[in-house]
Amino acid sequence: MPRPERAERVTQALAAVDLADAADLLAATYSGGMVRRLELAQALVSAPRLLILDEPTIGLDPIARTGVWEHIGAVREATGMTVLVTTHSMDEADQYCDRVALMHRGRIRALGPTAELRAGLGARRGAAGAAQGAPPTLEDVFRDVAGSGLDDEAGDFRDVRSTRRTARRVG
């Protein structure tokens, strides 16, 4: 990034994540939510067209989680950037993502808007599902496409140990 633009972009990124007032504080004094927002600001300085976030709310309390998601949404809306997020929270994915890819064992098992995925499971369940009451959640969809996860293909501790040894030799 050209040096003359750097200060202005940093100021814009900090403002976008509501950290302009804390810009002069040491990052070591920030709360967990502020640190997540600072990480987001760092990613935004270069104005990417694609922002990849890995578990952006892990370890945060509910208020900080909501704040991070609100900032991600505001930046996305303001810039039009695409945001790719990994998360284990089906509730967060359902609430904040336009489309999801549900993965199990390294393969995409379901892909699409959350409402369509939930409706598809509801249709597959048919009358039996309707008799259970509540409509399916995204977690229900994941359980459906992933199965029980307790089959023999999963491997055991020896498989994990062997994979790690191979990775050390290759790395």
Quote the pLDDT of residue 98.
Answer: 92
74 and 16 Cβ atoms separated by less than 8 Å: yes
Contacts 24+ apart (CB under 8 A), 45-51: 45/1, 45/6, 45/9, 45/10, 45/13, 46/1, 46/9, 47/9, 47/79, 48/81, 49/81, 49/82, 50/81, 50/82, 50/83, 50/84, 51/75, 51/76, 51/81, 51/82, 51/83, 51/84
Give the Å distances, CA to CA, from 33 to 74, 100, 143.
16, 24, 30
Tens of pLDDT, residue by residue over 111-152, are 999 999 999 998 888 755 555 668 899 999 999 998 865 554
CA distance 31 to 33: 5
CATH class of 1-86: alpha beta
Tens of pLDDT, residue by residue over 65-113, are 888 888 888 888 888 899 999 999 999 999 999 999 999 988 999 999 9
